[in-house]
A and B are shown apart, each in its own frame.
Chain A
Amino acid sequence: MIEAFEHHEGTVAPLDRANVDTDQIIPKQFLKSIRRTGFGDNLFDAWRYLDEGVIGKNANERRINHDFVLNEPRYAGSSILLARGNFGCGSSREHAVWALQEYGFRCVIAPSFADIFFSNSLKNGLLLIVLEKNLVDELFGIVQLEEGYSLRVDLAGQTLRGPGFAADFEIEPERKRLLMQGLDDIGATLAHADAIRDFESRHRQRMPWVFSRDGNAS
């Protein structure tokens, strides 16, 4: 079950780089964990800290990179990330989504997102909002000028509202429903178990070679 998303209000942090890849969001050395938690301290690790990130290192003993935007005091506690195009490209690691959420982000706004990152976010209740580039540019301008700038995201009404800014956003109805109800994808798919079994039995007739290992697994 994912946490249901209805509306959210929070401070916006601007990450002014295009093509932010999942290797930057959560570097590979942290993927050795067998758990879904413990990634927040290492979000954007190579940008947030000056020393090399090693799994198990205490975040309080790290050397902070004060030039990195998320380390600026004005963006402390921000929960909406404003980003540039093709955000989340690269590796399929879902750890990138877990890291963003654990850090405190509920929503990412960008002109475009990479495909796999997009579906991974949905599965975890991280709302991705695609906004036209000129609106994203406008938001970058506002956020950089106004300290503590905060936006209200209303998923039901598909609106973004903040001082001096208002925009509507598009979201596919099924994604919106999933996010708003916090639906369990597996449960929803297993509701079609009979259809899956029917398909499988026809498929086995048509393409038996696909099932050649079914007897071999021990």
Chain B
Amino acid sequence: MATRTVYDKIWDAHVVAERDDGMTILYVDRHLLHEVTSPQAFEGLAQAGRSPWRRGANLATPDHNVPTTNRSRGVEGIEDAVAKEQVVVLDDNCKRYGIEQFEMTDRRQGIVHVIGPEQGATLPGMTIVCGDSHTSTHGAFAALAHGIGTSEVELVLATQCLVQRKSRNMRIIVEGHLPFGTSAKDMILAIIRAIGTAGATGHAIEYAGSAVRALSMEARMTLCNMSIEAGARAGLVAVDDTTLNYVHGRPFAPTGAMWDRAEDYWRTLVSDADADFDTELELDAAGIVPQVTWGTSPELVLGIDENVPAPDDFEDPAKRELCERALTYMDLEAGRPIASVPVDRVFIGSCTNGRIEDLRAAAAVLDGRHVANSVTQAMAVPGSGLVKAQAEAEGLDEIFRSAGFEWRDPGCSMCLAMNDDRLYPGERSAATSNRNFEGRQGHLGRTHLVSPAMAAAAAVAGHFTDVRDLP
């Protein structure tokens, strides 16, 4: 048999049929659902008189719309009537079709991409889909995971399959050691800067190299999470001991003899030594410094020691225009050191950086320090109820509170500002989330994406600053 990449192997193991027209019917192992992209799919299912193909493949939780305060009253406590209706409709649909759901009051509730791995609902070698583009997160487990639209949510519910055309293979190799003070977030921002937001369109990315192997599972999830910001639907990392150690003992993971059998298979989920990649990129980890986005696209990234660019710094006329528009929207002038830019609100959380390690990294910076007076609000939003409980057991909540942070309940929160957590017109954030698009965090809000440590440092200094230089 020809040599294969991890992506090829997972793909091959899920082919139900090749259609005459060149499309593949691909089997879906795990389907994650949330309140925003599923209601129309369930409605379509009901209208056609269909029911879910395999109930046990599905796991649901409300995350996008839920408030991050006053959660004791559950759904009844949601003040926004429209948001509440979506959460109620998810509850109803899950009950009606017998789909397992972590409801708002369940301590296992959280951001769908945090709870899947946490529960072991995400396993190596699986095909995993969800009506959310950051489903690429689960690729950290050598799973083929990507976002789908609502029509495909309905298709998966009804048939347990997707109709797909295979992507091309891309490998991004990061060698060496990440310098002190940098993280997987800085790594992925540096990658997106290098290849652009359409750089991996049509590809599945495999992240490889010694710097990637050295990352924890939490960090690999951060890396894979933002694959979509580089244009790739899916990003993944091959299986190794780190993967298996994380999965072992999780509630949905196999045990005993079944574990041994699974492990034998999972160990094969590495790319063959001479496998072919359509595109390859190499990056030196040692050259990565803490990153800050300055514009309205995740590719507009700077090292903390750099200055905001001018349109003339870009050769491509389209990029020049993007730069010009971004300077205006972000209210920045070319040549200004990014480290001089003040922040109004600080957001630590999201499916990119809302896991326990992220909270630890931020707390390590905040311990013994305090949020600057000029900062209007700083909030830490754990990615799930279990992450929150773990952080509290470690005393991290006390560190956040003493430093002047608000300690919130889990949800997507200010990453996309569907609930009350948001920027107001003209305000500027340091955010550990994944998108800095115009208005993403609130109408006319200005978002700068950073790592948890850099967000904490910005909160303390009142402006962006190199976390390694904090007094």
Contact = CB atoms under 8 A, between A and B. Distances in A.
A19 B48 contact: no
Contacts of A56: 82
From A29, A115, A173, residue with most partner B Cβ within 10 Å: A115
A89 B131 contact: no
Nearest to B164: A119
B195 interface: no
Interface in A63-77: none
A52 B131 CA distance: 27
Given A190-B158, A190-B159, A212 B254 contact: yes
Given A21-B437, A213-B56, A186 B39 contact: no
A174 to B, nearest CB: 3
Interface in A178-218: 185-186, 188-190, 192-193, 195-196, 199-200, 203, 206-218
A196 B161 contact: yes
Given A186-B48, A213-B56, A214-B56, A196 B27 contact: yes
A34 B133 contact: no
Contacts of A97: 149
Contacts of A18: 318-319, 321-322
B40 A173 contact: no
B48 A112 contact: no
Contact of B21 (A17, A115, A116, A173): A173
Contacts of A17: 321-322, 325
Interface string B168-184: 00000000000000000
Contacts of B64: 31
Contact of A172 (B22, B231, B253): B22
A24 B437 contact: yes
A28 to B, nearest CB: 5
A97 B151 CA distance: 11
A168 B137 CA distance: 39
A189 B55 contact: no
Nearest to B120: A212
- B: interface residue count bin: 35 or more
B201 A115 contact: yes
Interface residues of A, number: 68
A93 B437 CA distance: 15
A86 interface: yes
Interface string B276-320: 000000000000000000000100000000000000000000110
Interface of B: 13-14, 16-17, 19, 21-23, 25, 27, 29-30, 36-37, 39-40, 43, 48, 50, 53-59, 64-65, 80, 82-83, 85-86, 89, 98-100, 121, 123, 125-126, 131-133, 146-152, 154-155, 158-161, 163, 165, 197-198, 201-202, 228, 231-233, 252-254, 258, 261-262, 265, 297, 318-319, 321-322, 325, 416-418, 425, 435, 437-440, 443-444
Contact of A35 (B27, B40, B55, B83): B40
A36 interface: yes
Contacts of B25: 189, 192, 195-196
A23 to B, nearest CB: 4
A84 interface: yes
Interface string A40-78: 000000100000110110000000000000000000000
Contacts of A212: 56, 252, 254
A209 B228 CA distance: 28
Contact of B98 (A35, A95, A207, A218): A218
B441 to A, nearest CB: 10
Given A32-B86, A190-B159, A210-B126, A115 B37 contact: no
A217 B100 contact: yes
Interface of A: 17-19, 21, 23-24, 27-29, 31-36, 46, 52-53, 55-56, 84-86, 89-95, 97, 112, 114-116, 119-120, 123-124, 172-174, 177, 185-186, 188-190, 192-193, 195-196, 199-200, 203, 206-218
Which 3 residue pairs spanning A and B have beta carbons closest together?
A214-B56, A174-B21, A120-B149
Contact of B123 (A19, A119, A206, A209): A209
A73 to B, nearest CB: 24
B188 to A, nearest CB: 16
Given A28-B417, A90-B133, A186-B48, A211 B56 contact: yes
A216 B37 contact: no
B249 to A, nearest CB: 14
7 contacts: A29-B418, A31-B36, A35-B40, A52-B444, A90-B437, A91-B132, A196-B25
A198 B207 CA distance: 34
A90 B36 CA distance: 16
